Structure 1
Amino acid sequence: MPKTLNSLMKHLRDSGIDINGSGQKRRLKNIGYYHGYKGYRFAGKAANRLPLTDFSQVAALYDLDTQLKALFYSRVMAIETALKNYTLEAVLRDAKSEAFEDIWRKSLADYRSCTGGTYRKAWEKRQRLRGEIDSIIFYNHKSRDVIGHFRDADKDIPIWAIFEVMTLGNFGSFYECLDRRVKTAIVRDIGMPFNLDSEQRLKDMIFTLKDFRNAIAHNGVVLDVRFQSGSINTGVAQLLKQETCVGKIDFTDITDYVILLVYLMRRMGFTKTECKQLVAGYEAILERYRSELPINIYSKLIKTSTRGKLTALRQFVSNG
């Protein structure tokens, strides 16, 4: 039988979390049981329980997470849009056409440079991409004007219209299937380094951002990076360390995602002021909740290396 709010409060008290009064009862109701307790009782994985003793600590964790998502959302969306635009420009230039069928034949041809088992896997990825794009067109032709317009006019749907309705995951698959010459054009335009296989690293970054973006957009917990769907290629950390001079990057805490956002923003020509605002906003949020949360809770989420990383990141922005 579903628990009432009163019984949920009793359950929290039985779990060692002090919660009392109409104010905390209302707060629990407003933020929900999952976010109010379940989502914040551990860091990263269920076995890593946080030493919570009072509902005010749970509420502070919820507020910390919410403010981080609000800070990151517009930046992640701006980067997603920019990545698509850099890619769109390179694809149109390579295929000399905006028709998807022309791009499919000319530019989405990474598999041709592969051999043996690698060839088969790359060919299969390309075929899966075709299925993804066909599904995107089918599921959006009724609800999205940009697709429906070309359907009603019996015209080929241009690649830019498909990009409008692509998820970041779809886009990552699209980028992965591009011929290496197109990937090279993209990373050169962004300004990524020549010596660290930037073509591959950008793909890794896109899928890293995909998990991050989805957690933000769907109100998942982000502050302990539990949203990661798999390991992140160590080459991403190597590239970021070389480019930003920030050490100890391993994507086991949220600060490293700030570094990734700032790096891409700066390489894409976002202003120094925009980048500094992101870093300053992140620092301000951390400072507030470092004073509101017990150190034995805060330190399980935010590493002691954070301050040094942000100092180096500000220097990268100033020098960039």
Structure 2
Amino acid sequence: MVRGKTINGLMRHLRDEHNIDISGSKHKRELLNMGYYHGYKGYRFIRSSQNQIPYTDFNEVVAVYEFDANLKAILYPRLMFIETALKNYTLDTLISIGPVDFDNVFSNLLNDYKKENTGNSKYREKMKKRLELRNKINQAISYNYSEQKAVIQHFFHSNKPIPLWAIFEVINMGEFGFFLQCSNQDTRIKIAKDLNIHSTSHNQNGRIIEDIIFLIKDLRNAVAHNSVVFDCRFKKANPPARLKEYLQNETNQSNITFEHIVDYFIIVIFLLKKLGVSKTELKKIVRIFNDESEKLRNSIHAPIHTSIMGSDFRNKTKLLKSFI
């Protein structure tokens, strides 16, 4: 039988094994609130377990934990807004093209595979993604029907085809990204133009919107599930160069790598501006983000802050204000 450590035992463990100054009722309460495994073990390194943060005082752990929590509080409502708005803009574009029952859209718009020679590797790859998308959508419909989601049940019980807007209600952001990926080039470019996110230099094939969605979905999921976000460990793949170059050109930034959280704030502010959010609100978001960074800077050693935020953090936020 395995016996776990009590909170007092965990505090002794941090003192004796990790040389962290932790004691008293305040630290005990903070460790209980954050949890040893979700809290300390989740915030003891930057991006990789090989890059341990050299904590000496438990107050530093609390500062990083609170910084992370406050980042999620800033980002959550804005990411939900962006997800909903991007789906709605896409729907509006598709409605202008033709009927938006899913069978029609699947046949006439989700046909990017037709650009390839029949049977070659790219054709098979795109066809596979298209069929996988259909399966994922059918699974989402089935799940939401069994969960008695009214919007899905209504169309089934009325013996009507499920419109695309109802499908967009039940698919996640990744599936939405695959939807755009399977769309033909003309459709992708029209959606990008309607969002004013089109560049003949960087978006010739209309892939910028799906690049953006695949990028921010990892952040969105980490925020929504209360995972660690401060060090961008949620990032699953390196974004394509065309997206980085496009953002740098649009925002007058340089060295956007998405290795630091400031770069994700750049793309969030960029999208919110494209979606018509006021300058006052955008400036407020950047100001709060700066304040949280300064609070962290005053609570941990300077090299740790630089490792978390990047050496060019201040310049990037200054340029972000100019972009707004």
* Match of residue 195 from structure 1: 201
Is residue 191–residue 268 contact of structure 1 (8 Å, CA) maintained in 2? Answer: no
Give distance in 1, aligned partners of 2:260 and 2:248: 16
**Which segment drifts farther, 296-305 or 243-252?**
296-305
* Aligned-partner residue type, residue 126 of structure 1: R
Partner SS, residue 141 of structure 1: helix
Structure 1 residues 23-58: Cα deviation after superposition (integer angstroms, max 9, x where no partner): 211111111112321011100000001110111111
Shift of 1:92: 2.1
Residue 7 of structure 1: how far off its partner (Å)? 1.8
- Is it true that 1:242 corresponds to 2:245 in the alignment? no
Q: 1:134 aligns with which of 131, 138, 144?
A: 138
Aligned to 1:9: 11
Greater Cα shift, 26-35 or 130-139? 26-35
- Residue equivalent to 1:111: 113
**2:29 counterpart (26, 29, 41):** 26
Structure-2-length-normalised TM-score: 0.95
Asked whether the 8 Å contact 1:57–1:293 carries over to 2, the reply is: yes
Q: Letter of the 1:165 partner, please give it.
A: V
Worse-superposed segment, 82-91 or 205-214:
82-91
Cα-to-partner distance string for 1:131-176 (whole Å, 9 max, x where unaligned): 1000000000132111111122222111101101111011111111
Mapping for residues 24-63 of structure 1, pairs under 5 Å: 24-63=27-66
CA contact 2:192–2:208 (8 Å) conserved in 1: no
Partners of 1:168 and 1:210 within 8 A in 2: yes
The corresponding residue for 1:287 is 294
In 2: Cα distance, 1:59 partner to 1:258 partner: 23
Instruction: Check whether the contact 1:18–1:54 (CA below 8 A) recurs between aligned residues.
Output: yes
Q: 1:83 aligns with which of 86, 105, 115?
A: 86
**1:124 is matched with which residue?**
128
Contact map agreement 2:100 2:163 (CA 8 A) in 1: yes
Q: State the alpha-carbon separation in 2 of the partners of residues 227 and 155 from structure 1.
A: 40
Q: Is the 8 A contact 2:45 2:52 kept in 1?
A: yes
Q: Give the deviation of 1:292 after TM superposition.
A: 1.6
Deviates more, 1:129-138 or 1:13-22: 13-22
Asked whether the equivalents of residues 251 and 257 of structure 1 are also in contact (C-alpha less than 8 Å), the reply is yes
Report deviation, 1:66.
Answer: 0.3
**SS at 1:286 equivalent:** helix
How many residues are treated as equivalent by the alignment?
316
Match of 1:48, SS state, is strand
**Structure 1 Cα separation of the partners of residues 289 and 62 of structure 2:** 19
TM-score in terms of structure 1 length: 0.96
User: Partner residue of 2:233?
Assistant: 226
Measure how far apart 1:3 and its partner are.
Answer: 2.3
Per-residue CA deviations over 1:55-75 (Å, capped at 9, x if unaligned) read 111111110000001001111
Unaligned runs of 5+ in 1: none
| 3-state SS in 2 of match to 1:292 | coil
Once the two structures are TM-superposed, the CA of residue 274 in structure 1 deviates from its matched residue by 2.1
Q: In the alignment, is the contact (CA less than 8 A) between 1:234 and 1:250 conserved in 2?
A: no
Matched, 1:156 2:153: no
Correspondence for 1:168: 173
Identity over the aligned pairs, expressed in percent?
A: 40
Provide the rounded CA distance (Å) in 2 between the counterparts of 1:36 and 1:269: 37
Instruction: Give the match's secondary structure for 1:220.
Output: coil
**Equivalent residue of 2:55, what SS?**
coil
Structure 2: gaps spanning 5 or more residues: none
* Distance (whole Å) between structure 2 residues aligned to residue 141 and residue 213 of structure 1: 25
* Aligned-partner residue type, residue 79 of structure 2: V
Shift of 1:98: 2.5
Output the aligned Cα RMSD: 1.2
Q: CA deviation at 1:194?
A: 2.3
> How far off its partner does 1:218 sit?
0.4
Identify which range, 171-180 or 12-21, moves more after superposition: 12-21
Paired with 1:250 and 1:234, the residues of 2 have a C-alpha distance of: 9
Contact (CA 8 Å) 1:51, 1:296: kept in 2 or not? no
Q: In 1, are the aligned partners of 2:218 and 2:235 still within 8 Å (CA)?
A: yes
Q: Does 1:257 align with 2:260?
A: no
CA contact (8 A) 1:187 1:202 kept: yes
For 1:138 and 1:3, the matched residues in 2 are separated by: 44
Give the SS at the match of 2:277. coil
